[in-house]
Amino acid sequence: MAVMEIVHYGDPILRKKCNLVKNFSRLDGLLNDIFDTMYEAEGIGLAANQVGLDMNLFVVDVTHTEEAEKPYVFINGEIITKIGEKMPYKEGCLSIPGIAVEISRPEKIILKYQTPDENWHEEEFGGLLSKAIQHEIDHLNGIFIIDHLSKVEKMKYKDELNALVENTQKNRIAKSNHKGFVL
């Protein structure tokens, strides 16, 4: 059991397109820690860059909804097809705590992805699982929920977002001082 630190809005790693995973050895311990971190934060999805790792992978657990019977690990995932009407849904994000915004995304997707055994899969997902996957794929491309809002809508969250950025920057400086780094 190892809970990692979740990085917040304002950390540059969350604006990066994450590197594809090429080395699948030693993933198991890391994935365990990512799941522990997500469960402790009471989230349903978590992307690697949200715990400071530049890797194209994320985990999702929506077993509480009974539309999935197991937690998922998605590595090097790519949305192949988007199906159906865009459906609005109020989404939160562990990297933007306290903010939830209504976002419209396609109802279903076909995702190509790898599992930790390196096998490739192509699978259709709907419901909350589809929303969570699209949200996490966004993270791996440096996109946040608030990026889906209009300028006017985004303005409503300006103060909260500025406070988050300020806090993230203070945190990064405190940590680099602690480690003896020079910024």
DSSP per-residue codes, 66-101: TS-SS-EEEEEEEEEEEEEEEEEEEE--TTSTT--E
Active site residues per annotation = 136
Binding mask 80-119 for Co ion (x = CB under 5 A): -------------x--------------------------
Contact 91, 131 (CB under 8 A): yes
Residues 133, 131: Cα–Cα separation, whole Å: 6
Pick from 93, 140, 161, 164 the residue near ligand QAP by CB under 6 A: 93
Cα separation, 5 vs 10, whole angstroms: 15
**Which CB atom, from 5 or from 118, has the smaller least distance to ligand QAP?**
5
Q: What is the spatial distance between Cα 54 and Cα 183, in angstroms, rounded to a whole number? A: 20
Q: How far is the CB of 144 from Co ion (least distance, A)?
A: 7
Query: Binding segment for ligand QAP among 17-25, 41-49, 51-59, 77-85 (CB under 6 A)?
Result: 41-49
Residue 137 lies near ligand QAP (rule: CB under 6 A): no
Selected binder of ligand QAP within 11, 61, 91, 138 (CB under 6 A): 91
